[in-house]
């Protein structure tokens, strides 16, 4: 039997499926806010599997000039007592207004571990600009982001996969649309080629639907696709993930 359990405690929005990917605007929710999301899956019988996921996000919105938010997610899974997922992800972002409400500068740092991609640690830091290209009740909101990042990758078997230090273009398209005050559909797609070699690139597509259940409790359904043209030796180029989870906002 498959079951999903809500995990809660405290804490609003990479690339992971347990906290919202929707872009945020300065002044949309001033002060401190947050979200916590979680899911637990279990299956027994011919195949015994267990999946655990936890994600938290904290945000501070100054209301006029800037906002900052940070995200932490952890995914763990095993099948027939053999671990098949162990992934940790953190991201911190600072957004500052520029000429008007449609233009912002962005600064970010990120760290992740994924033992099943042979990544002991991938850390990066970057900056860029974000342009809100449209904003209406009927159409929703659309964004374009362009910048650059510096990436360091330390592999679990560096004798097979030499560690890397790359400079990449960081570009994305994002869209979000509210259907009611709380129901929301969001999309974000990234394209990150190496500046020294355009054939070495990472692209990802992430779409989510958030539906309210009761008061501040929401159901989140996400689909995620990632393509790495030059992954570590022994690692597949494509990753596809579907997830249903619960989130609690405050």
Residue-by-residue DSSP string for the chain: ----------------TTS------TTSS-EEEEEEEEEEEEE-SSS-EEEEEEEEEEEEE-SSSEEEEEEEEEEEEEETTEEEEEEEEEEEEEEEE-SSTTEEEEEEEEEEEEGGGTEEEEEEEEEEEEEEEEEETTTEEEEEEEEEEEEEEEETTTTTS--EEEEEEEEEEEEEEESSSS-EEEEEEEEEEBSS-TTSEEEEEEEEEEEEEETTEEEEEEEEEEEESS--TT--SEEEEEEEEEEEE-
Listed range (76-80, 86-90, 170-174) with the worst mean pLDDT: 76-80
Q: What is the mean pLDDT of the chain?
A: 86
Query: Mean pLDDT, to the nearest integer, of 156-176?
Result: 93
| For residue 204, pLDDT beyond 70 | yes
- Between residues 204 and 159, the one the model is more confident about: 204
Query: Mean pLDDT, to the nearest integer, of 48-77?
Result: 90
| For residue 25, pLDDT beyond 50 | yes
Q: What is the pLDDT of residue 47?
A: 58
- 2 vs 170: CA distance, rounded Å: 38
- Between residues 100 and 227, the one the model is more confident about: 227
- 201 vs 228: CA distance, rounded Å: 6
Do residues 232 and 208 touch, judged by C-beta distance below 8 A? no
| For residue 175, pLDDT beyond 50 | yes
Q: What is the pLDDT of residue 57?
A: 94
- Confidence label for 19 from pLDDT (cuts 50, 70 and 90): low
**pLDDT tens digits for 217-242?**
999 999 999 999 999 888 899 988 88
pTM of the model: 0.85
Q: What is the pLDDT of residue 179?
A: 87
- Between residues 242 and 27, the one the model is more confident about: 27
- 197 vs 194: CA distance, rounded Å: 5
- Confidence label for 51 from pLDDT (cuts 50, 70 and 90): confident
């Amino acid at each position: 039997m498959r079951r999903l359990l809500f995990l809660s405690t405290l804490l609003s929005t990479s690339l992971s499926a347990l906290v919202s990917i929707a872009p945020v605007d300065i002044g949309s929710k001033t002060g401190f806010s947050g979200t916590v999301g979680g899911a637990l899956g279990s299956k027994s019988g011919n195949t015994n599997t267990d999946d655990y996921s936890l994600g938290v996000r904290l945000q501070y919105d100054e209301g006029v000039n800037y906002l900052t938010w940070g995200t932490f997610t952890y995914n763990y899974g095993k099948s027939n007592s053999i671990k098949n997922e162990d992934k940790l992800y953190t991201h911190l972002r600072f957004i500052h207004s520029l000429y008007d409400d449609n233009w912002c500068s962005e600064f970010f740092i990120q760290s992740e571990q994924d033992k099943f991609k042979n990544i002991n640690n991938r850390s990066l830091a970057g900056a860029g600009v974000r342009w809100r290209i449209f904003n209406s009740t009927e159409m929703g909101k659309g964004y374009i982001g362009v910048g650059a990042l510096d990436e360091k990758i330390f592999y679990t078997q560096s004798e097979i996969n030499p560690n890397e230090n790359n400079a990449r273009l960081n570009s994305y398209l994002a869209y979000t649309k509210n259907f009611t005050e709380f129901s929301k559909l969001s999309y974000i797609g990234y394209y990150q080629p190496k500046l020294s070699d355009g054939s070495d690139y990472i692209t990802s597509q992430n779409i989510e639907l958030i539906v309210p259940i009761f008061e501040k409790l929401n159901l989140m359904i996400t689909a995620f696709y990632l393509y790495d043209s030059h992954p570590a030796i022994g690692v597949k180029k494509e990753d596809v993930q579907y997830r249903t989870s619960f989130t609690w906002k405050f």
